[in-house]
Amino acid sequence: MTDMTQVYSSEANENQFFREMTLRICGSLEIEKALWHCFLYVRNIMPADELILTVYDPEAGVLEVVATADSNGGSASSDKITMPSSVRSHLEEPLKFPRVRMSENAYKDEIFAVVAERYKWVDSSIIVGRLIVENKFVGSLIVRARGIGRYSDDNASLWGLVNEPAAVALANSRRYLELMNLKELLADDSKYFQNELRRGFSEEIVGAEFGLQGVMEQILKVSPLSSPVLLFGETGTGKELVANAIHSFSPRHNGPLIKLNCGAIPETLIDSELFGHEKGAFTGAVAQQRGRFERAHGGTIFLDEVSELPLNAQVRLLRVLQEKEIERVGGRQHIKVDVRVVSATNKDLKKLVAEKAFRDDLFYRLCVFPIHIPPLRERKIDIPALVEFFLRKKAKEIGLHFIPKLLPGTIEALLEYDWPGNVRELSNAIERAIIIQGGKPLSSEDIIGIPAQLGDKTRHESAQENLTLRDMEADHIRSVMKKAGGRVEGEQGAAALLGMNPGTLRHRMRKLKIPFGRTAKKEYGS
């Protein structure tokens, strides 16, 4: 046997031991600090290389190591160990078993052999104090010493004295930790929702009684349910506003509405954004973070551009929809979530499924209730109301004390235009015109560069009748690129003029074989 030459104090009587341990274990709400103070005392009284504090969850059958202390100090943890069903009765029926158990070899202990294997202990002796509150086993306080047969009956008798103060300290520490976590969650939620409010949480749906009447009827049908909804339509048609409306008319309207643009998140971060991560899960994860699904619990999550999700993230999203639970990156705990999913795309998901770029099982899960949002060219009846709405809205945002007027013939000219960027293009065009004109009356040329006098309309229609929509779109983008001097990005770039995302515009230009970059600057001039 290993030579154990440390001399332990024999002067500690039961009263002194109880007093010193109680003062230390209850001396701090940070349980790892309290446990370390206990270790510094215990190691002078009996063999001790480590103190371990655990909590037991009877519903999951999991023993969680919440703190440890050794000569290097105390540390908090959250290491969960699933206990075999054969030993759960020993933990869940505490009154049938002794409050203190001594084991000469932890690897031969029927309960703590699982813990010894988990941490790859050398041969060790342990004394386990079972912490019982209101006749329920809540956890344990363990002292461990390297070597076999290190403890005596006197050691076990002393250890049994601190069961009650240790149980009180553990309960107080857990409540304190819960309060701190709740405080952090509330602060986190407050910051998050303040940012959402600054962005503008919802807007009026213009056209609800005319061009979008069919869409509104579908919204009213599906809103009271929890069924997933898939919104599809071109970029700029107002899919986010429809998602807002579905949430507002639903029984979940008092819960959160959490939004995520799946195309704006790098593939390496999409899991963290959706499901959250634990501290230390990856480089830069300096603190635990909840994902969008956790934030949306009890409410709705809106996944915009869902077609941009990488295949591996699609698998995990499917599991969330099926199991109603998530697992943070770097975590082992399954977290139940009650979330309604509304997703949106401007692509043909059926085509992506056929091309194996989107999972068919996920598609059928998301597309329980599809809603098509028509482009602005198919609901031109709404253009006058939209123009009036954006004139009021943009004038207020810019700080004008009046609403700019329109020159005669302007609305007629705007109705002739097909608005490839849809409502977003109209909104941005009006805002830009108001800024440039400084509140003066606006013409169609100020808004989109179309002269109010269209000339011979018959000749105009004749020139267009042989062009496909693709040709017309290409011609329009070329004319805007020329106006922008070949630039895609920037305040006066083509994307800004069209009211589109620069990446979306480049993608469309590639498909239409329209040059951009250095080639475009040479062609259109800088």
- Tens-place pLDDT, residues 120-153: 999 999 999 888 877 777 888 999 999 999 999 9
In tens, the pLDDT along 505-526 reads 887 787 777 887 776 666 665 4
Question: DSSP for 26-69?
Answer: TS-SSHHHHHHHHHHHHTTTS--SEEEEEEEETTTTEEEEEEEE
136 & 236 share domain: no
Phi, psi for residue 223 in degrees, rounded to 5: -55, -40
DSSP for residue 403 = P
Domain limits for position 241: 200-374
Tally the domains of the chain. Answer: 3
Would you mind telling me the total number of residues written for the chain in this entry?
Answer: 526
21, part of any domain: yes
398 & 355 share domain: no
Give the Cα separation of 423 and 429 in Å (integer). Answer: 10
Q: Which of 374, 407, 424 is the last residue of a domain?
A: 374
What pTM does this model have?
A: 0.55
The pLDDT value recorded for residue 397 is: 87
422 & 279 share domain: no
The pLDDT value recorded for residue 456 is: 40
Q: Which of 347, 374, 401 is the last residue of a domain?
A: 374
Residues of the chain with pLDDT under 70: 1-12, 94, 173, 176-204, 286, 450-472, 519-526
387 & 462 share domain: yes
CATH number at residue 345: 3.40.50.300
Tell me which H or E stretch contains 80: strand 73-82
305, part of any domain: yes
Give the Cα separation of 283 and 420 in Å (integer). Answer: 42
Residue 474: other Cβ atoms inside 10 A = 18
Secondary structure of 278-309 in HEC code, one letter for each residue:
CCCCCCCCCCCECCHHHHCCCCEEEEECHHHC
355 & 263 share domain: yes
CATH number at residue 424: 1.10.8.60
CATH number at residue 68: 3.30.450.40
Token pair of 48 as six digits: 């001790």
Reported in sequence order, the residue ranges of 162-270 that DSSP labels E, i.e. its strands, are 229-232, 257-261
